[in-house]
Structure 1
């Protein structure tokens, strides 16, 4: 089978050189052979009449339409590392499918997908893009066994054992056989166990029920596996697992992205603004386009519509194209090892082979000149190879790897590429770039330094137990944050939470009496508690939030005092905030 595949690859190489197609390699500088499949849209004729002059076929604005070959209505596709690619008939190349085009502007997204897809569009996209699933097959034991046994080291061991048996050197041969069987069994068992765990880890992604709004069918419930790029999701309630990547176009969401970032801090997502521009939506949002995206695998812990109770999001990517799918693919298809340690190990083995070859030639000459029988000459010459290259090396390496895997397992760390553990042995120092990774949880706020009359005032220390006096600083600390009220508990960024707690204010949802005094019914309200200092306002309604942006280095809120004026509060890097101030007011 191996020889056959090699011949087919060589034949394919020469055929590709003779034709007018380009011979390409992947990002790791390796060639691969992929089977081209055909998708027949004629299968949809039982659902609706599909002809080459159908408007959904003639519109060649999107990749899906450009991939449909006319008049037979077929699509040519390949699958590479779980990602489906279709042949673009206009550009003459394979292009990734399963996500919205990058060139789409925010206005185009709102206009084209803001009211959902028609049933016909959904069926066509479902057939071409494939199901919205992240399937990880459990590798059969026999495949793992064959892959492990065909390791060059074990083949060399088999050769050595056969040689030793022919020389009646049975004790050591039996010892090597037992060690090899144990190491192979342990390796296969661990790989199988990790494969099963990974399968169960992503299996729940495929069994989620979602609400989808269609242009003609209206709102309907369906399984997440039937989602396609461009579908309009309706998010209702809390504690919703995202089955795909989606662009938020209406309403606000608070999301737990711990699955992606490792930090279970609620992140506020804002809707993609509808701007009359042809600039791609990612370029328009600059580096902070992610604040409009709900990523697959994350949990929407709170969804608020724009005073209508409806939160809408357009499906951006499905299946293995999503953030979660990309994470799973990085586990299934790790980058090839190209480390100096690995190269040095290969060079060391080549040196051993070279030494063994020299010794074998010397042994042949000595025994031939001594007149030894031919079979003895061959045995002694081959013995030199088994001495120079130790047959017990793979068993020893496997034992160390298995022990390391068990230690990682105790810490809840998965490892489906055990050979990389040896590479980690060269590490002397590991650095983390997350501030909260190695430091303790939580922080303490000692005090603040208010400013007024063009200068700093006396420091207010919270350790003294005195409440912060009412003023612009107190109002900003109470309202300029991204905290949320979930099940009666205030949650959010630890720094925001500590600053808010220092004001001794309370957070509540807008009630009827607040609404009468000027706060919208959907606004979050902060109000002073009984222990707070004398405050001339009954509360502050947070009308709109502009979450913190690392690119802009600031966050802003628009608020309204109960029965009073609307104000804007900003916090961030001093130089950024100062750029919004009028210089003449500082004199």
Structure 2
């Protein structure tokens, strides 16, 4: 029978619940005594609602389900993918190319645009599943008392005023005001971040108590770990705490990634530069007396040449390769831009439970007969030696922990999990490490169950032996032991300390507190905690060495949080404890307002809003809720902070490779535009034609440029500070290099065009091959943007020589195949022309290496 701690006979018609109760009353149930809450919701704690009243309330208030919050329709979401300056540039390129009569090339550019839009749309659609996951969390069954009879109903049929019966293993189906308990303990970690199950009590708590301290409430979506009880429904659907989180997730807007912001600014700038040069060339040509139609064609050619058509494809491919590499390191990326965002991260806000810690209570020390035994191993896996080896005193202490216990550990799918209270499961694991099992425990014949008031548990076994387990000061009342020095020392280190004792009672003596008082002898102490992951400690140090600030944000107690933070050398101002979902969200927004790129980790429902708002949301794949996974940008399949460090490393490598591609491709585009502009200004024939420009851009971008996406990360990638979010995509130094290489290509192609012997078609063919051979040489420069030579060998990227071979084959086809000569207005050239192209390419390579050398020496001097 459930212990009925409060019973109220309601003297009003039970259907007359004030449905328009004030918001203050809605949120005040935890601070009101039961006899005030019951009439407020119009019910009876013994017989519950009548079926008629429940039906009327269900019709008026709606089902106990979270309301759907849908964003824009699929058409608007798809069209939104085109709202980007870079896409506008590409659409303009397609239109201009089509105007030149090159329908095939225009189709290729449009295909690139559509593929990018489709990928973005699909990734965004997946994020909408976060709300669906929240809805699914409340689709359970519940035992409810109606018309005085307990019955099972679907949880979405619950209404305020229903009396719900809770038993071990149940998921709480709605927000309940607890009215009766029988050792009721609830795991609220998914909602509050509290690492320990919370003992529930009908007594009211202060009105200003934070969510994790409202012991008089049981919240929807949490899990009963032990005991049982009754609660009156005071909130359903959107009026529950999980409903509040649902609204936060739905209303939280995501932010642009650093890469998308930088690409948008870069694309806008590039658009205006291209348009300005095109207009300038057309105006100058017309003023020189050239025909208007011819100048428009030339301006179109300049614009087509200056547009980097391969950039979106390169971005997508580079990010996709990063996704693949991260998957091999246990990080699943849900949104492509998140790959690069990791590389730009300046602050990691990490959850404590399950991310930095193992989320599994573990006995760390056993103190018996004056000897401290260190228990090794982490979590519920019952392996790990004990140092020094346990003697008879420690063995009896661990036997008491197993006997005075209702929990167990079992292996499922290769992983050990706790069945029952995590604290008791930790005692079972410690005993098994010492070679003990339940078979060593005498049969239990009676017990005094643990309650929040009693604060200890006692079990009676055959032969009259009684084992006690509980708070140190409570067990001392039965043993007379007043020396708590060791216990205080262990507790000061953030450990939870339990005392164990043993007594003998005659079989005809009732098991009571009074019977035990003064008749028990102490066996020892056990100290436990949710241990930090050893590998996470190294990962936090690595992140800090890389210039990334690490902050702990948790719903757990401040003392517990600080004890864990000490293992990671985190200062007090980097620890945020007892944090609500709204406060987590505000912390993330505050850091972003200060210019930080924020990565937020979490596994619970309470983390979902902050995960969605952060620049990069990181959810736990094993222990995380489905809500957190769907709200995040990245999911860790091993729930390990070390994987975040690995993902940051890969993210930085991805950003490096993107910059390498951009630095490699822009000089060609700029030089192509400048060649046409210079020819117009000088009044000479165009050294390259628009169709030849498209050939260069589309073939080399794929065959050469994309090979940079496969470049391995450079060894020093985690020894650099993160790039400031405000830093543009192209720094001043890199812009100078682009201008330098553009000038070399401009001079080289013009010289080749005018020095070539033969027809105009042959001269233009040579000019095109100068561009391509110089791009091959410059590709080697770009394998490292700062070092004189890359720190990884050519074998590390087999795609690069393959790409060069493919480009060479295409250029031979372009130069000598008759059908290509007809399509692209080319003509065969001789070996002297090839020698000239190779010489210009060698000069281009040497100039860039010299510029690198000068900058390195200049940097050392300054």
Tell me if both proteins adopt one fold, taking TM over 0.5 as the criterion.
yes
Q: Find the counterpart in structure 2 of residue 289 from structure 1.
A: 213
Of the three residues 163, 173, 182, the one matched with 2:96 is 163
Q: Determine whether 1:467 maps to 2:371.
A: no
Equivalent residue number for residue 446 of structure 2: 514
What displacement does 1:163 show? 1.1
1:467 and 1:143 mapped to 2: Cα distance? 72
Change in 2 beyond 3 A, CA 1:521/1:508: farther
Query: Residue 508 of structure 1 contacts residue 526 of structure 1 at CA under 8 Å; is this kept in 2?
Result: no
Q: Report the Cα distance in structure 2 between the residues aligned to 1:384 and 1:500, rounded to whole angstroms.
A: 78
Structure 1, residues 397-444: CA drift from partner, whole Å, max 9, x if none?
334444555666788877665444432232388675547646889898
Q: Are positions 1:209 and 2:141 aligned together?
A: yes
Assess if the C-alpha contact under 8 Å between 1:229 and 1:318 holds in 2: yes
Q: Is the 8 A contact 2:96 2:304 kept in 1?
A: no
Change (3 A) 1:138 1:175: same
Aligned mates of 1:170, 1:103 — CA distance in 2:
70
Residue by residue over 1:15-38, the C-alpha shift from the partner in whole angstroms, topping out at 9 and shown as x without a partner, is: xxxxxxxxxxxxxxxxxxxxxxxx
Distance 1:290 1:55, change over 3 A: closer
Q: Are the equivalent residues in 2 in contact too, given 1:136–1:202 (CA < 8 A)?
A: no
| Number of the residue aligned with 2:203 | 274
C-alpha distance in 2 between matches for 1:495 and 1:319: 36
Q: How does 1:424-503 map to 2 (within 5 A)?
A: 424-427=342-345, 432=350, 434=352, 437=355, 448-449=366-367, 457=370, 459=372, 463-468=388-393, 474=397, 478=401, 484-485=407-408, 492-493=422-423, 495-498=426-429
Conserved in 1, the CA contact under 8 Å of 2:29 and 2:177? no
Kept after mapping to 2: 8 A contact 1:479/1:557:
no
Contact 2:49 2:163 survives alignment (8 Å): no
**Aligned partner (choices 52, 63, 74) of residue 131 of structure 1:** 63
Whether the aligned pair in 2 keeps the contact of 1:483 and 1:490 (CA below 8 Å) is: yes
Alpha-carbon distance change, 202 to 361 in structure 1, aligned in 2, over 3 angstroms: same
List per-residue Cα deviations over 1:440-461 (Å, max 9, x = no partner): 898986864558xxxxx45568
TM-score, length-scaled by structure 1:
0.57
- Corresponding residue for 1:223? 154
Structure 1 residue 166: deviation in Å? 0.8
User: Which residue in 1 is equivalent to 2:237?
Assistant: 319
Is the contact between residue 511 and residue 521 of structure 1 (CA under 8 Å) also seen in structure 2?
no
Structure 2 unaligned runs (5+)?
1-13, 375-385, 411-417, 475-490, 506-510, 529-558, 560-862
Q: Is the Cα contact below 8 Å between 1:256 and 1:301 reproduced in 2?
A: yes
**CA-to-aligned-CA distance 1:132-172 (integer Å, 9 cap, x gap):** 22457799765553343455543442232111111134453
Distance (Å, rounded) in 1 between the aligned partners of 2:88 and 2:323: 24
Counterparts of 2:356 and 2:233, CA distance in 1? 36
Summarize the alignment of residues 37-116 of structure 1 with structure 2, pairs less than 5 Å apart: 56=16, 64-65=20-21, 100-102=26-28, 105-108=31-34, 111-112=37-38, 115=44
**In the TM superposition, what is the alpha-carbon distance from 1:56 to its structure 2 partner?**
4.4
Is the Cα–Cα contact under 8 Å of residues 506 and 526 in structure 1 kept in the other structure? no
Q: Counterpart of 1:422? A: 340
| Counterpart Cα distance in 2 of 1:386 and 1:378 | 12
Number of residue pairs matched?
Answer: 455
Partner-residue secondary structure (3-state), 1:235: strand
Does the C-alpha gap of structure 1 residues 115 and 348 become closer, same or farther in structure 2, counting only changes over 3 Å? same
Change over 3 Å in CA distance of 1:554–1:262 after alignment to 2 = closer
Secondary structure at the aligned position of 1:464 is classed as coil
User: Deviations for 1:24-62, whole angstroms, at most 9, x for unmatched residues?
Assistant: xxxxxxxxxxxxxxxxxxxxxxxxxxxxxx9948x6xx8
- 1:405 and 1:133 map into 2 onto residues whose CA distance is 36
Looking at structure 1, the residues matched to 429 and 163 of structure 2 have their Cα atoms a distance apart, in angstroms, of 38
Relative contact order, higher structure (CA 8 A, sep 6+): 2
More strand by percentage: 1
Q: Which runs of 5+ in 1 are unaligned?
A: 1-53, 67-94, 306-310, 452-456, 530-535, 577-587
Alpha-carbon RMSD across the aligned residues, in angstroms, is 5.7
Among candidates 450, 463, 466, match of residue 539 of structure 1:
466
Structure having the higher helix fraction is 2
- The secondary structure found in structure 1 opposite 2:316 is helix
Q: Distance in 1 between matches of 2:111 and 2:359?
A: 49
Deviation at residue 538 of structure 1 after TM alignment: 0.7
